[in-house]
Chains A and B, each alone.
Chain A
Amino acid sequence: MKHIDEIETMVRPLARVAPGRHGGSPSGAGARTLLASITSEDPGTAVAAPRRAWRYGPRRLVLGLAAAAVVATGVVVGPGLLQDGHGVSAAYAVTRDADGIVYIEVRDFRDAAGLQKRLRDLGVPAIVDYVPADKKCGEPRATYVRDFPPGLYSVPENIPGERTGWRMRIDTKLFKPGQTFVWTITDLPGGGGGTSTILMHDPVAPCVLVPDDTPKMKVVDSSSRRATRKGGSLAGYRVDEKTVGEVLPEIEKRGLKATYLIMAIPPGNPGGFGELRRQDTPVGDDWIVWEAEEDKGAPGVVRLLVTDKRYDRNPVYGGPRDDVIRD
Chain B
Amino acid sequence: MDDPRLARFEAVYRETYGQITAYAVRRCDSPQDAADIVAETFTVAWRRIGELPPGEEAVLWLYGVARNVLANHRRGEVRRQARSVELDAEMADLYGAAPDSGVALTAIAEVFRSLPDDDRELLSLVAWEGLDRHQIATALGVSRNAVRIRLHRARRRFSRALAEAGVRPTPESRLVPAGRSL
Contacts and interface: CB of A to CB of B under 8 A. Distances in A.
Contact of B23 (A10, A23, A31, A321): A23
A16 B99 contact: yes
B51 A48 contact: yes
B123 interface: yes
B127 A19 contact: yes
Interface string A1-45: 110101111111111110111111110111101110111010110
A41 B14 contact: no
Contacts of B98: 16
Given A7-B155, A15-B99, A39-B6, A22 B19 contact: yes
Given A22-B18, A30-B87, A39-B9, A10 B128 contact: no
A298 interface: no
Interface string B38-58: 110011001111110000000
A191 B152 CA distance: 42
Interface in B133-182: 137, 141-146, 149, 155-156, 158-159, 162, 169, 173, 175
Interface string B59-95: 0000000000000000000000011101111110011
Interface residues of B, number: 69
A24 B94 contact: yes
A26 B11 CA distance: 10
A29 B7 CA distance: 19
A84 interface: no
A31 B18 CA distance: 10
Most buried by B among A24, A47, A49: A24
A14 B130 contact: no
Question: Which interface class (under 10, 10 to 19, 20 to 34, 35 or more) fits A?
Answer: 35 or more
Interface stretch (A89-97, A278-286, A312-320): A312-320
A238 interface: yes
A38 B43 contact: yes
A240 B108 contact: no
A9 B100 CA distance: 13
Most buried by B among A8, A9, A17, A313: A17
B141 to A, nearest CB: 7
Given A19-B129, A38-B42, A319-B141, A49 B48 contact: yes
A11 B142 contact: no
A38 B44 CA distance: 9
A252 interface: no
A322 B14 CA distance: 32
Contact of A320 (B23, B95, B142, B169): B142
Specify the main secondary structure of chain A where it touches its partner: loop
A123 interface: no
A23 B25 contact: yes
Contacts of B6: 39
B94 A10 contact: no
Contact of B90 (A1, A7, A31, A46): A31
B46 A41 contact: yes
Nearest to B15: A26
Given A34-B83, A241-B146, A12 B21 contact: no
Nearest to B130: A19
Interface of B: 5-6, 9-10, 13-14, 17-26, 34-35, 38-39, 42-43, 46-51, 82-84, 86-91, 94-95, 98-100, 105, 108-109, 112, 123-124, 126-130, 137, 141-146, 149, 155-156, 158-159, 162, 169, 173, 175
28 contacts: A2-B162, A6-B173, A7-B127, A7-B155, A7-B159, A10-B169, A12-B128, A15-B128, A17-B22, A19-B130, A22-B21, A23-B19, A24-B38, A24-B87, A24-B90, A26-B14, A28-B90, A29-B90, A30-B87, A33-B83, A34-B39, A34-B83, A37-B84, A38-B46, A43-B50, A46-B48, A47-B49, A238-B145
Given A24-B18, A322-B143, 9 more contacts: A2-B169, A12-B127, A19-B130, A29-B84, A34-B87, A37-B82, A43-B47, A240-B143, A320-B137
